[in-house]
């Protein structure tokens, strides 16, 4: 895993969204809404372009320090292939995972259409109840009726993609409920993401580039700069 202090980019010129992805979530803010899945694009071909695909995985505590670059970082979805078994019962043991780990948000994408929902393990383990908002909203909200607590997790259900995304997707979960689930699993929440953005031309960035056309760092993650 890569921490903010290990990143090669100068912190003072890093975009706020990227810095937030690399920083741990505070433990003393139980009602803080934590982003656990996202697909975001802004100014795709312009000077302020920025893009993010992110999903959070439930990684056993003992394995968290040994993660490399996971394949889900490129698209931010858990699965994309449609499995077509050749014989009856061919999906008996099918369990969609992200690089062998459970996701907080189960997501599927075909390249043209993407769907998102809170993982069944998460909402059933916590005793949450879903509410769906249709029409233009197309959102799912999860409540805890036993508490009662409302909107402890929520996000967009779907989006389409035809040269550009029909909408941005952001799934958020309340900090105390997320940490309760991770505690029950003896796990940590690891953000797996692809991020792209433009940095200001400054002395700090030029020092990293060292006069080269590209800078690539793949020691414990993947980071690339180009002019």
DSSP sequence for 171-222:
EEEEHHHHHHHHHHHTEEEEEEEEEEE-----HHHHHHHTT-S-EEE-SSS-
Per the listing, tokens 């029950």 go with 184
49: how many CB neighbours lie within 10 A of its CB?
13
| Average pLDDT in the chain | 86
Bridge-partner residues for 193, per DSSP?
A: 54
Which has more pLDDT, 6 or 169? 169
User: 56: closest CA among 11, 101, 95, 100?
Assistant: 101
Q: Pick the more confident residue, 112 or 151.
A: 151
> pLDDT band at residue 68, thresholds of 50, 70 and 90?
confident
Give residue 177's pLDDT: 98
Q: Please name the residue that has the structure tokens 């005793």.
A: 127
Q: What is the mean pLDDT of residues 133-149?
A: 92
Q: What is the mean pLDDT of the segment spanning 122-136? A: 93
Q: Which of 88-97, 115-124, 217-226 has the highest mean pLDDT?
A: 115-124
Instruction: Output the six-digit token pair for 26.
Output: 């505070």
Least confident of 66-80, 98-112, 136-150, 185-199: 66-80
- Provide the whole-model pTM: 0.86
Lowest mean pLDDT across 119-128, 157-166, 189-198, 201-210: 201-210
Band of the pLDDT at 169, cuts 50, 70, 90? very high
Contacts 24+ apart (CB under 8 A), 40-48: 40/168, 40/169, 40/170, 41/164, 41/165, 41/168, 44/164, 47/198, 48/198
- H-run or E-run covering 50: strand 50-60
Contact in structure between 190 and 67 (CB atoms under 8 Å)? yes
pLDDT of 225 higher than 70: no
Banded pLDDT at 149 (limits 50, 70, 90): very high
For residue 168, the model assigns a pLDDT of: 93
Using alpha carbons, select from 16, 2, 3, 12 the residue that is nearest to residue 50. 16
């Amino acid at each position: 895993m890569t921490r903010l202090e290990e990143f090669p980019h100068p912190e003072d010129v890093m975009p706020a969204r990227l810095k937030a992805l690399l920083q741990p979530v505070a433990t003393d803010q139980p009602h803080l809404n934590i982003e656990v899945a996202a697909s975001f694009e802004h100014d795709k071909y312009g000077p302020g372009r920025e893009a993010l695909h992110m999903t959070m995985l439930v990684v056993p505590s003992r394995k968290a320090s040994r993660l490399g670059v996971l394949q889900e970082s490129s698209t931010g979805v858990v699965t994309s292939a449609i499995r077509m078994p050749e014989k009856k019962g061919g999906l008996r043991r099918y369990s969609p995972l992200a690089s062998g780990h459970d996701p907080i948000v189960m997501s599927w994408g075909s390249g043209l259409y993407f769907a998102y929902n809170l993982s069944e393990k998460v909402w059933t383990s916590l005793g949450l109840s879903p509410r769906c908002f249709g029409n233009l909203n197309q959102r799912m909200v999860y409540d805890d009726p036993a508490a009662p607590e409302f909107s402890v997790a929520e996000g967009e259900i779907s989006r389409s993609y035809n040269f550009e995304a029909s909408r941005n997707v952001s799934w958020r979960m309340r900090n105390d409920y997320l940490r309760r689930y991770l505690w029950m699993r003896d796990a940590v929440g690891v953000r797996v993401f692809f991020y792209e953005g433009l940095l200001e031309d400054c002395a700090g960035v030029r020092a990293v580039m060292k006069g080269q056309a590209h800078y690539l760092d793949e020691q414990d993650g993947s980071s690339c700069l180009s002019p």
